[in-house]
């Protein structure tokens, strides 16, 4: 392998290296009919996979629900400073979420061969123990200007209060199917979301429909569970804001 490794999310072919969030990812071997080997190294620890019939991979951002194993399809963003929205008003802001990095063998259905989290893995209960849901948890803050950060998803959210009373928003809960991620190098953005308050302690979250990713951004491969549409393409938050 010659030269410095590529930096950022993207493809990894035979003999290529890629740096993703400090981890060195590469595909080795393949000579004389041998298997290719995928390798991830970071802080003296190496993870390896033999690749039978697979030589090219892609490293891409994904919702933070894969560690220690996937047992939820929901994400919760808890606001460090709650947002107050007056009745009939709207506003918008940006948040940053945690994410997982997936290394995938691409095909008709992408296959995960490696994954690792960016940030501490945490989960929280939304609702009551007998009727609520477990969600991957991120403590975040609202920002008026789009932050320029690496590796983690930046999400623009349009907040609307359709009621006549002021409300306090402390968290945003969404299914992973609503988190459509796009990357360019080490930058990650998500399709914007709309958060609409419909009553006391109730709201719905849905992807903003009329939107296109900026030039040069590639959509992260989506697994089958992320392709299942939710009823009406809305997720109803019924257990408080």
Range of the domain at 182: 74-98+121-237
Q: Would residue 88 count as lying in a domain?
A: yes
Q: Which residues are 62's β-sheet partners?
A: 100
Sequence-ordered alpha helix ranges (H) in 70-194 = none
pLDDT of 31 above 70: no
Q: Would residue 53 count as lying in a domain?
A: no
Q: Which residues are 227's β-sheet partners?
A: none
Q: Is 110 left (phi over 0), alpha (psi -120 to 50) or beta?
A: beta
CB distance 158 to 90 below 8 Å = yes
Q: Would residue 209 count as lying in a domain?
A: yes
- The whole-angstrom separation of Cα 202 and Cα 240 is 6
CB distance 88 to 36 below 8 Å = no
Predicted model pTM: 0.92
- The whole-angstrom separation of Cα 90 and Cα 208 is 15
Looking only at the bridges linking them, the beta strands covering 181-184 and 99-105 are: unpaired
Q: Would residue 106 count as lying in a domain?
A: no
For the ranges 10-14, 30-34, 116-120, the lowest mean pLDDT is seen at 30-34
For the ranges 30-34, 162-166, 172-176, the lowest mean pLDDT is seen at 30-34
Q: Would residue 112 count as lying in a domain?
A: no
pLDDT in tens, 70-129: 889 999 999 999 999 999 999 999 999 999 999 999 777 788 999 999 989 999 999 999
pLDDT in tens, 165-190: 999 999 999 999 899 999 999 999 99
Q: Which residues contact 31 (CB under 8 A, 6 or more apart)?
A: none
Q: Would residue 206 count as lying in a domain?
A: yes
Q: Would residue 162 count as lying in a domain?
A: yes
- The whole-angstrom separation of Cα 19 and Cα 4 is 9
Q: Would residue 23 count as lying in a domain?
A: no
Quote the number of domains for the chain: 1
The tokens for 223 are 């697994």
């Amino acid at each position: 392998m010659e030269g410095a490794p590529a930096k950022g999310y993207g493809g990894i072919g035979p003999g290529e290296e890629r740096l993703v969030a400090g981890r060195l990812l590469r595909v080795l071997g393949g000579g004389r009919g041998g298997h290719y080997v995928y390798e991830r190294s970071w802080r003296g620890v190496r993870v390896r996979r033999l690749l039978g019939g697979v030589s090219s991979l892609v490293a891409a951002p994904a919702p933070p629900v894969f560690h220690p194993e996937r047992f939820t399809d929901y994400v919760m963003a808890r606001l460090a400073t709650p947002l107050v929205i007056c009745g009939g008003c709207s506003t918008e802001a940006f948040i940053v979420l945690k994410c997982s990095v997936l290394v995938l063998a691409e095909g008709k259905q992408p296959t995960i061969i490696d994954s690792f989290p960016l940030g501490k893995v945490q989960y929280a209960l939304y609702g009551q123990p007998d009727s609520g849901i477990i969600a991957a948890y991120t403590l975040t803050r609202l920002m008026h200007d789009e932050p320029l950060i690496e590796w983690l998803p930046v999400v623009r959210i349009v907040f609307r209060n359709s009621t006549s009373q002021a409300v306090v928003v402390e968290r945003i809960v969404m299914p992973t199917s609503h988190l459509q991620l796009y990357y360019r190098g080490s930058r990650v953005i998500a399709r914007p979301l709309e958060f609409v308050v419909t009553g006391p302690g109730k709201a719905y979250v849905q992807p903003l429909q009329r939107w296109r990713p900026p030039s040069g951004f590639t959509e992260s491969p989506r697994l089958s569970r992320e392709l299942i549409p939710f009823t009406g393409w809305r997720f109803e938050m019924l257990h408080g804001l």
